[in-house]
Every structure is written in structure tokens, then in C-alpha cells.
Amino acid sequence: MTRRQISMVLIILLVIGLLGGCTRRDEKQDPYRIAVITMMQGGEFWGALKNGARNARTETGAVLEFMAPINESDYEGQIAYVEEAIAQRFDAIVLAPSHTTRLEDVVEQARSKGIKVVLADTRLEKSKGDLFITADYFQVGLEMAEHAFSLFEEGEPIKALVLGSIPNSTSMTSVVSGLVTAFNAQDGAEIAYATYSFTDEAIAKKITEEILDSDEGVNLIFALEENTAHGVVNALPEGRKIRLIAFGTTQFEVQLLEERVIDALVVINNFNLGYRSVKAAIDLLKNNRPTEKMVEHALVTKDSMFSEEHERLLFQTIQ
């Protein structure tokens, strides 16, 4: 190659580099805007996720807006928030969909507009969005069942009530699948009742009271959401030993765990889920592929609750 040709190549490379620099986004002057849309506004579960998202915001300078309906079963409200994020031209959406199918169309609408969509905790039936981050909820169900079995004497019959939050969430159905798999392999154990509270404490209390009043054989309850757990606890009759394993990290639940009213709490690292979801959205916007791995979970008992690892998970909302 002649000296002239080398010079021309260098000029071309320089021009390409300059053009690339011109298209690179100045995140300080023009930060990425990300809508974080959870299933509901309140609750320790979603509070921890939002704290993790805020931590990622501090690190990256991204602008976050949190949106959510009041109740997890308000699918239409969640759809409206996704539509609002599209209309406001957010760069990305972090979404915990409350229904496996009803949000599919609006998610694909967002993606067709160039908006990156990270699905957090639960996924859709036909779409993983641009990325899906979750815990191993099937394994959670297996571990809940195995711990429950350890609470009974060998040969003692086990009759369980499973009380979930909403029926159209992949995280919830995966937990239930894990429970069913474990119970099918355990002699003398049965899931006699399985239903949903729709995250309503009063409904959970009423269901629990009716089943316990009508069936004295029920001696184990799985409450798969924090408001549901509150309702179950308030329905437990005095003088009757019923084992209870619940999801959640509310102050009330932690107190009841310490008092051994609740035998174990399932805790998902939602702080990490929120943090990784926002970071992943920014990676996708920069055309970088985020690392895909499961979010950690733990089954916390009275004996383990003050270990460093479990204490960190129990009190995520104050991180």
C-alpha cells in the first residue's frame, strides 16, 4: 500500500470515528428515561424493587418514573401505564406484568416504537420482551414444600391450603407447580385447597376462616403474597396448630416469624431485581447484552433470620 493510500485509509477511519462520536448520547445532558411499572403501588415486595431501581438511578444518572395501579389485579390499569410510557416516549420500560396475556399487545407496541422492555419477576406467555429477569420460582415451590414436610412427624398426614395472589402471573403459577410436584412425590401429603386472594387481605381472611371451619384436617397453609399472609394470620384459630409458610418481608410477618406463628418466610431479592432491571435497560439502550442469571431467593426461619445473609434479605426496603 502506498503512502497516499495509507493516508486515505487513516482519513476515512478518522471520519468514521468522528461520526460515531457525534451519534453517541451525552447521558449527563440527555439522560435515559425509564418507566418502572410494577403490579401495584404499595407493599414491601415492590418497595424493595423500587429501592434497587433507585440505586441504579444513582449510579447511572437515569431518570426514573414509577407507575402502578393500586391493586395487582388491575390489568387494565397496568396497560394504561404502558400506553402512557409509550406516549411520553420513554427510552425503556421495566415492567412486572400482572397478566400473562393481556399485556402482550401493548408490550409489542412499545417495542415497535423502539422502546426497550425489560420484564421483571414475571413474563408474558409469548414474549420475554427484550430481557426477562426473575427468580427460580419453581425451585421456590419445591423448597417451601420440603421445609413444610420437615415440620411434621414421619407418617403424620399433611393437608394443605395454598392461597396465592393472582392466577395469571407466571411467578405465581411456577411456585404452585413446584408445590404440586413436591406433594405428588410425598406419601400422606395433599394439597386439598388452592385458590387466590387477589392481594386482598379481607378476602384471604374470609377464605381461610371458611376452609378451617369446614375442615379440621387442614394443618398447613402456604400464603404466597404478603397481604394474603396478613389475612391468613388474622384467621388462624386459637388452640389449633397450623403450620404456615408465607411470602414477604413486612414488619408484621417478621415479628410473627420471630414469635414462630409463621414457620418460614420466602424472600426474593427484589432489591437486586430492581437494580439489575434498570441496569439491563440501559445496557440494551447502549446495544450491550446484559448478563442473564436468576435473582437469589431464601427460605428464612426463626433460627436463620439474624444471619448476615438473611437479615440483609429481610430488610431490603431500608437499604
Structural contact between residues 66 and 50, judged by C-beta atoms closer than 8 angstroms? yes
**147 in the same domain as 101:** no
**277 in the same domain as 129:** yes
**274 in the same domain as 193:** no
302 found inside a domain: no
> How far is it, in rounded angstroms, from Cα 177 to Cα 161?
14
**114 in the same domain as 88:** yes
The CATH number for 221's domain is: 3.40.50.2300
According to the 3-state scheme, what is the secondary structure of 144-207? Answer: HHHHHHHCCCCCCCEEEEEEECCCCCHHHHHHHHHHHHHHHCCCCEEEEEEEECCCCHHHHHHH
> How far is it, in rounded angstroms, from Cα 166 to Cα 310?
27
**252 in the same domain as 106:** no
Could you report the per-residue pLDDT of 191-222, keeping only the tens digit for each?
A: 999 999 999 999 999 999 999 999 999 999 99
188 found inside a domain: yes
- pLDDT-based confidence at residue 27 (cuts at 50, 70, 90): low
**263 in the same domain as 141:** yes
61 found inside a domain: yes
Could you report the per-residue pLDDT of 69-116, keeping only the tens digit for each?
A: 998 889 999 999 999 999 999 999 999 999 999 999 999 999 999 999
100 found inside a domain: yes
| pLDDT value at residue 291 | 83
Owning domain of residue 95: 33-135+270-288
Share of the chain above pLDDT 70, in %: 90
- The domain total for the chain is 2
- pLDDT-based confidence at residue 13 (cuts at 50, 70, 90): very low
Mean pLDDT score, 138-166: 97
**146 in the same domain as 58:** no
**248 in the same domain as 147:** yes
7 found inside a domain: no
Q: Is the dihedral of CA 294, 269, 146, 178 positive or negative?
A: negative
75 found inside a domain: yes
> How far is it, in rounded angstroms, from Cα 294 to Cα 286?
22
- pLDDT-based confidence at residue 1 (cuts at 50, 70, 90): low
> How far is it, in rounded angstroms, from Cα 95 to Cα 123?
9
For strands 33-37 and 220-223, give the pairing.
unpaired
**264 in the same domain as 141:** yes
**163 in the same domain as 283:** no
Q: Is the dihedral of CA 72, 74, 75, 81 positive or negative?
A: negative
Could you report the per-residue pLDDT of 159-194, keeping only the tens digit for each?
A: 999 999 999 899 999 999 999 999 999 999 999 999
pLDDT at 48 over 70: yes
16 found inside a domain: no
| pLDDT value at residue 309 | 87
Prediction pTM value: 0.86
More confident residue, 156 or 18: 156
Buried b (16+ CB within 10 A) or exposed e, 149-159: beeeeeeeebb
- pLDDT-based confidence at residue 3 (cuts at 50, 70, 90): low
> How far is it, in rounded angstroms, from Cα 237 to Cα 130?
47
**151 in the same domain as 116:** no
**125 in the same domain as 181:** no
> What's the mean per-residue pLDDT of the chain?
90
E strand map for the chain: 33-37, 63-67, 92-95, 116-120, 131-133, 158-164, 189-196, 220-223, 243-247, 264-268, 297-300
86 found inside a domain: yes
42-51, 190-199, 206-215, 262-271: which range is least confident on average? 42-51
Could you report the per-residue pLDDT of 286-306, keeping only the tens digit for each?
A: 999 998 889 999 999 999 999
